[in-house]
Amino acid sequence: MSDWQAERRKRDEKRRAEVMTLPVLPVRRHATFTASDPGDVLVRASVGPDGQAVALWTSPEERSALSATTTQPGWASFPDPQASRPVTARVTLHRAAPAVTSVEIAELPLAHPTVQVLPDGHILLVGARCRWRPDGPDRNAIIYDADGQVIIEATIGDGVEHVLVSRSGHIWVGYFDEGVYGNYGWGDAGAPAPLGATGLMRFTSNLEADWRYPADAQNAWGAISDCYALNVDGDTAWACYYTDFPVICVQDGTVTGWRNSLARSVRAVVVTDTQVALYGGYGPDHDVLVLASRGQHQLDRLTEYRLVLPDRAPLPATMQAVGRGAHLHLIDRIEWYQVNLDELTTT
């Protein structure tokens, strides 16, 4: 072990000891996802604009096709934009009760997909990666109707980290660093700049871009290098991003924000009218929830918790986190948990 690795381990051990002294907050089990086909396995789940969960399933035999990767000789493994073969998939919608709706998609072509539901009941699937080619880029966003038929296919760019639909049907997309700075052909000589160069975009329900985060000198909160967390509440979007992890709010195209010195590498943001909670981080902070008030220009710490499962067992580090308004949604395989910030708000 190198000196810097030993030093980092020492810092992590010290921080974990501090985290273990925090007050414990058990998350609430909200529901268990149920497949419409008993043989299916869960691929990905998220939360729609009205608080219902939307889950993507396929058979165990076809699951690997949706996580296709390419390994370069003697180098690294990269996620593919397209599934290794089209697969039959099913999308289910859930509340606290078992699934209420199921849509079958006969030939899903996208790898590493995120799933959302539009207000009209149509299903949106977005692949994380998108390759640019001179003869045309990959179309990595597809909208399906209630019968699983394709309505629209479009390109929304590479490096998709978050996709959340608003109450009015707008589609908010947050991009990770490769989608901002370019990869998979985007930004190369003779190629266009990455679509996600500003880090945060909004699309119409027809997948047409209609707003981009202002990455210019007039933006007091700095450029987005990597959109770590995104929350869409009604038609208002909130984000927390690298490098300085400010919390910004986009309402009617106007950006406001707050400096954040309380939490880094934030995985989810949840909000009330006056307060913000920042969830997660690297290493020892993966299960920490920091509650803060929104001052004039910065976040002020109120308290922090260590989240645990309902039986007070540790929260899995791999748990998926989605912020929707005041609700933090936590998904671990087929188990769906929640924390309601309104119930924690302090003065």
Which two three-digit tokens encode residue 141?
């966003």
State the residue for tokens 């406001």.
256
Tell how strand 236-242 and strand 123-127 pair up. Answer: unpaired
pTM (2 d.p.): 0.95
CA separation for the pair 131, 80 (Å, rounded): 9
Within 8 A by CB and 6+ apart from 204, the residues are 169, 170, 171, 210
Query: CB–CB of 283/270 below 8 Å?
Result: no
- Which one-letter DSSP state was computed for residue 259? B
Mean pLDDT value across residues 20-24: 91
Q: What tens digit of pLDDT does each residue of 199-245 get?
A: 999 999 999 999 999 977 668 899 999 999 999 999 999 999 999 99
Cα distances (Å, whole numbers) of residue 78 to 71, 141, 225, 240: 6, 19, 20, 26
Which two three-digit tokens encode residue 289?
């929830």
Q: Band of the pLDDT at 100, cuts 50, 70, 90?
A: low
Which two three-digit tokens encode residue 243?
């490098």
Q: What tens digit of pLDDT does each residue of 156-202 get?
A: 999 999 999 999 999 999 999 999 999 999 999 989 999 999 999 99
CA separation for the pair 112, 228 (Å, rounded): 17
Residue of 189, 243, 235 whose CA lies nearest to 215 = 243
